[in-house]
């Protein structure tokens, strides 16, 4: 395809996403639902005008990485660490329960093979940080106490999901599990999360220095975007999801970033605000492309809607996927309302689930109907969660703490 067609596609994606988001907001639905629906409409499911290609994929990835950068930027690290215990509990519960339920459902109820059942179970484990964060941001709850727990838990279960994927992939290839490999991924990801914010912090001080000595404008958008993309690439290189690189960079640049030995690296408030100001239009430009791409990747026209298997399998797996995350908040302290909404916010699956499904399909583990059903499960959780959460806040929001 030639460059002009790409430009028209990008324009079409941006305009449709925005109009659909406005329409959704007008109908009191979540904006992100409009953007996902725009992708479904433009994509192979309905009109078939746009197919996902390398260009759209890169722009979409930049979008989600920049969104996670902004989430990191606005995260209060202290609060996130204080929520750490609860986040870990939510992440582990919400990881184990859907895995176990999904495995038994596939293996014992649908009689699928061990490997297929393991991959189906894996598909259900990781919450989509991107979609969850967008839902909470659309509702203005991203910095609420429950928002911090959910954010931490979503980050943690993405890491768990990636480790599981490494282990299962190994298992599918060699027929046995290599604990050394899993351990290596864990060490690398932990090392990344300890060192990346410090490195990013030092680099952001360099960016500030450049900003001061350069005669020409544009230092902040150019170098900060480079920093974020480089960290995303680095995260990928060590086996973690790219968007976690963006999140780490955002945490580091955040004004609320504080570590005992990083005191001298603190960025002052005015420059922090300048950075955010300069990044905002860039983030707003790229982010919708990601959510449209999620919609574009779902091909509802491939689904054989007449098959009984598709309905029974996808609906029962979806039930397990939803139930498994809904209970994830129950073990932590706090009000009933907060614990329920945390479980609801953990429901949407996305990037990692789609990667599981895609690797399962590409390596021949999943038959076409199982793959279609799993994509459908991800679509259910992604498309429906924003509604429940919005409704729940409307009904019970007054019981929850102000943020």
Regarding 216 and contact with a copy of itself (CB under 8 A), the answer is yes
CB of 255 to a copy of itself, least distance (A): 19
Q: CA-to-CA distance for 403 and 143, rounded, in angstroms?
A: 6
Identified binder of a copy of itself from the candidate list 229, 251, 373, 389, rule CB under 8 A: 229
The closest of 206, 236, 241, 240 to 224, measured between CA atoms, is: 206
Q: CA-to-CA distance for 138 and 150, rounded, in angstroms?
A: 15
Identified binder of a copy of itself from the candidate list 37, 42, 62, 352, rule CB under 8 A: 62
**How many CB atoms are closer than 10 A to CB 268?**
10
CB of 237 to a copy of itself, least distance (A): 7
Q: CA-to-CA distance for 266 and 255, rounded, in angstroms?
A: 8
**Which residue's CB is nearer to a copy of itself, number 83 or number 289?**
289
CB of 395 to a copy of itself, least distance (A): 21
Regarding 54 and contact with a copy of itself (CB under 8 A), the answer is yes
**Which residue's CB is nearer to a copy of itself, number 42 or number 149?**
42
Regarding 65 and contact with a copy of itself (CB under 8 A), the answer is yes
Size of the site for a copy of itself (CB under 8 A): 53
Q: Which span sits near a copy of itself by CB under 8 A: 55-63, 128-136, 257-265, 331-339? A: 55-63
**x/- map, 274-293, a copy of itself, by CB under 8 A:** ----xxxxx-xx--x-----
Regarding 237 and contact with a copy of itself (CB under 8 A), the answer is yes
Q: Which span sits near a copy of itself by CB under 8 A: 74-82, 218-226, 364-372, 380-388? A: 218-226
Tokens of 292: 């449209």
Identified binder of a copy of itself from the candidate list 116, 156, 223, 370, rule CB under 8 A: 223
Length reported for the chain: 403
Tokens of 20: 């659909």
Identify residues 17-36 at the interface with a copy of itself (CB under 8 A): 17-18, 21-22, 25, 31
Q: Which span sits near a copy of itself by CB under 8 A: 127-135, 234-242, 260-268, 293-301? A: 234-242
Q: Which span sits near a copy of itself by CB under 8 A: 38-46, 166-174, 223-231, 314-322? A: 223-231
Identified binder of a copy of itself from the candidate list 46, 52, 55, 100, rule CB under 8 A: 55
**Which residue's CB is nearer to a copy of itself, number 58 or number 177?**
58
Distances (CA, A) of 344 to 41, 74, 388: 26, 22, 8
Q: CA-to-CA distance for 286 and 123, rounded, in angstroms?
A: 27
CB of 77 to a copy of itself, least distance (A): 24
The closest of 24, 69, 97 to 231, measured between CA atoms, is: 69
Contact residues toward a copy of itself (CB under 8 A) are: 1, 3-8, 10-11, 14-15, 17-18, 21-22, 25, 31, 54-55, 57-58, 61-62, 65, 210, 214-223, 225-227, 229-230, 232-233, 236-237, 242, 278-282, 284-285, 288
């Amino acid at each position: 395809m030639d460059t002009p067609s790409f430009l028209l596609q990008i324009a079409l994606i941006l305009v449709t996403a925005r109009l659909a988001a406005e329409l959704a907001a007008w109908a009191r639905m979540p904006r992100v639902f409009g953007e996902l629906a725009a992708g479904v409409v433009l994509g192979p499911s309905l009109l078939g005008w746009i197919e996902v290609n390398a260009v759209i994929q890169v722009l979409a990835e930049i979008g989600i990485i920049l969104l996670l950068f902004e989430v990191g930027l606005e995260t209060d690290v202290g609060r996130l660490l204080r929520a750490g215990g609860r986040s870990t509990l939510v992440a582990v519960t919400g990881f184990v329960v859907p895995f176990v339920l999904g495995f038994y459902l596939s293996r014992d109820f649908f009689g699928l093979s061990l490997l297929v059942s393991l991959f189906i179970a894996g598909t259900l484990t990781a919450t989509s940080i991107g979609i969850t964060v967008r839902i909470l941001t659309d509702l203005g709850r991203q910095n609420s106490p429950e928002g911090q727990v959910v954010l931490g838990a979503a980050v943690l279960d993405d890491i768990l999901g990636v480790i599981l994927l490494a282990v299962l992939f190994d298992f599918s290839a060699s027929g046995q599990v290599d604990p050394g490999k899993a351990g290596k991924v864990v060490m690398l990801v932990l090392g990344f999360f300890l060192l990346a914010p410090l490195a990013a912090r030092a680099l952001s001080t360099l960016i500030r220095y450049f900003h001061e000595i350069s005669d020409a404008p544009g230092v902040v958008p150019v170098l900060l975007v480079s920093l974020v993309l480089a960290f995303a690439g680095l995260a990928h290189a060590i086996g973690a999801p790219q968007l976690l690189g963006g999140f780490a960079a955002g945490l580091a640049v955040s004004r609320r970033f504080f570590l005992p030995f990083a005191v001298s690296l603190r960025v002052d408030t005015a420059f922090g605000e300048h950075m955010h100001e300069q990044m905002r239009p860039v983030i707003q430009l790229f982010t919708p492309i990601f959510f449209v791409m999620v919609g574009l990747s779902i091909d509802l026209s491939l689904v054989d809607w007449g098959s009984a298997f598709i309905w029974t399998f996808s609906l029962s797996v979806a039930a397990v996927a939803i139930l498994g995350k809904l209970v994830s908040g129950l073990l932590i302290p706090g009000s009933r309302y907060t614990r329920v909404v945390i479980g609801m916010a953990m429901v949407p699956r996305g990037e990692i689930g789609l990667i599981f499904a895609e690797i399962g399909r590409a390596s021949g583990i999943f038959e076409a109907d199982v793959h279609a059903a799993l994509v459908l499960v991800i679509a259910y959780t992604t498309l429906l969660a924003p509604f429940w959460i919005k409704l729940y806040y409307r009904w019970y929001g007054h019981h929850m703490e102000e943020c």
